[in-house]
A and B are shown apart, each in its own frame.
Chain A
Amino acid sequence: MRVVIAEDNVLLSSGLELLLGTKGCEVVAVATDADAFLAAVDAHRPDVTIVDVRLPPGFRDEGIRAAIEARRRHPDLPVLVLSQYVEQAYATRLLAAAPRGVGYLLKDRVSRVDEFVDALTRVARGGTALDPEVVAQLLTRADPVATLTPREREVLALMAEGHDNDTIAARLVVTGNAVHKHIGNIFTKLGLSPDDGGHRRVRAVLAYLDGQR
């Protein structure tokens, strides 16, 4: 995988390069601000991008803005956003435009190399990767989630993080069939009918993100 990184902290960008190198990923460019990132994306057309939320000059949410702008220019560009802290609002903004090929993870997660590269690969393939803490924030909500059984919540949490049925089954030590049944129940309880088309999984997650409106 060819990767473009937007990260102003050399310690982190060099660490990411090292880590991705061991997994056979090639970091083709490291940008230290939003403009350089957009230019690097234009120039290299990477398979996936990794963007820090806080970038110069303001160190606020320049990374989110840059990610959204990059996807506006290249709608299929996979973006994994890394953040110092988890904020559901950022995840909502990222997913709002097009919920495909988007990830939002705490920076801490990069130290779990396999899981991190797994998430990066999912995003590169057009899937999603949401930080478990974002998912936890979503699941504390009272509305339709309250009607889910604990097991269904677990399944939804893993689904929201972006895992497929096999992974969910392996994580929960149940059969794929059981997972399939749970997911069917979740869709029913959240009012997502089967004829909604292929993205019901993503829509289930979005239902939480947008549920307040």
Chain B
Amino acid sequence: MYLVACVVAFPLRRRWAAAHLRRAAALRGVDPPPPTARLDRYLRWLAAHVAIGVPAGLLALFCLGNALVAAVGAPLWRVFPADDPLRLLLDVPVTGWGRALALGVAQLAILAAVAAGVFPVLAALHARVTLAALAPSAAELLAERVAELTRTRADVLDAHGAELRRIERDLHDGTQARLVAIAMRLAVARQALPAAPPEVADLLRQAHEGTEEAMTELRQVIRTIYPPILADQGLAGALRAVAARGGVPADLDVGDLGRVPAAVEAVAYFAVTEALTNVAKHSRASRATVRVRRAGERLLVEVRDDGDGGAREDGGTGLAGIRGRAEALDGRLTVTSPPGGPTLVEVELPCGS
């Protein structure tokens, strides 16, 4: 019967197990853990459930039945035929009111004692087995946590990228536009006052030049926050632009990249820009190849040249900068650059979605 119930309950196993877990956790005084997702652990739990639950249930039925017999049978002992009298305490015949009362009370007391002594132990045992069988193991909890962190990191990356883009737009279309507008008006004012007193002319000149410097600085700051070409042209377009303006002719091979978070695009763009700058400055290469492709959850960026090799991270070459940015996104940088060349810079970035 129990097994039939188990089979019937199979499709509902999650809720059923969750209910058992809640009860077991309440009994043990712990917080109910989330039920495991693994089928084999459900099956193991079912076996343990049957092994402990059936004897415990039978014992409970035995106690309840005999308690009923004592409570109901003893006052009615006269109803039983004389040649087959009511028997209490297993096999003692009831032959008079004295016996009926004494045996009935004794039977109830013994059953109550058994229930009070044994049932909590059995219940606790069942609860322990249930918790052990259904609660996720440490490894499962860890795996779940990693999956959750990966998920939230992808969300954070997306949000971060969107923020970078918004800041870039706000600075360009808000702050920079205002600076340009101020500079234009200052320029017009300077031209309108050719005969201004020297102090005024000087102040106007300072204000004008200061505004121009502010614009230049702002443009440099924006470039380090989020390259505007990325916002306008996407990664492939931005890389085409980098490859076209590099000091060394560069072949560009960009595969189907799918959806790449903006923050990852920014790092990929930065890596290619820095690597190509290195090629032009240090490698004495005649050609470079840039390959960007998607491999599952990862974006792979390769910059290869036919130069002298010997690239080192501590040489102020910008490789350390690439590593820092890549590792901030849980990515990796590998530089292969034997003396005599060639140099291969590989960056692997998780896209996490």
Residues of A within 8 A of B (CB): 9, 11-12, 14-16, 18-19, 22, 53-54, 59-61, 84-85, 87-89, 92, 106-108, 110-113, 137-138, 140-143, 212
CB<8 Å pairs between A and B, sample of 21? A11-B177, A18-B185, A19-B188, A22-B192, A59-B173, A84-B219, A84-B228, A85-B229, A88-B245, A89-B244, A89-B245, A107-B176, A108-B212, A110-B180, A110-B183, A111-B208, A113-B184, A113-B188, A140-B245, A142-B247, A212-B243
**Chain B residues near A84 (CB, 8 Å)?**
172-173, 176, 219, 228
A212 and B173 contact, CB distance less than 8 A: no
Q: How far, in Å, is A201 (CB) from chain B's closest CB? A: 21
B187 and A112 contact, CB distance less than 8 A: yes
Interface string of B179-195 (1 = CB under 8 A from A): 01101111110011000
**Chain B residues near A15 (CB, 8 Å)?**
180-181, 184-185
B172 and A85 contact, CB distance less than 8 A: yes
Distance A92 CA – B169 CA, assembled complex (angstroms):
24
Q: How far, in Å, is B161 (CB) from chain A's closest CB? A: 16
Distance A207 CA – B136 CA, assembled complex (angstroms):
67
**Chain B residues near A212 (CB, 8 Å)?**
243-244, 249-250
Q: How far, in Å, is A138 (CB) from chain B's closest CB? A: 7
Q: How far, in Å, is A5 (CB) from chain B's closest CB? A: 13
Distance A29 CA – B180 CA, assembled complex (angstroms):
20
- B314 in the interface (beta carbon within 8 A): no
Q: How far, in Å, is A114 (CB) from chain B's closest CB? A: 8
B241 and A88 contact, CB distance less than 8 A: yes
**Chain A residues near B249 (CB, 8 Å)?**
143, 212
Interface string of B228-253 (1 = CB under 8 A from A): 11011100010011011111111000
Q: How many A-B residue pairs have CB under 8 A?
A: 105
Distance A110 CA – B180 CA, assembled complex (angstroms):
8
Q: How far, in Å, is A41 (CB) from chain B's closest CB? A: 23
B169 and A12 contact, CB distance less than 8 A: no
**Chain B residues near A140 (CB, 8 Å)?**
245, 247, 280
**Chain B residues near A9 (CB, 8 Å)?**
173, 177
Contact of A111 among B169, B212, B222 (CB under 8 A): B212
Q: A113-B184, A212-B250 are in contact. List 5 more A-B contacts (CB 8 A).
A: A54-B173, A61-B233, A85-B223, A87-B228, A108-B219
Q: How far, in Å, is B258 (CB) from chain A's closest CB? A: 20
**Chain B residues near A92 (CB, 8 Å)?**
244
Distance A111 CA – B228 CA, assembled complex (angstroms):
22
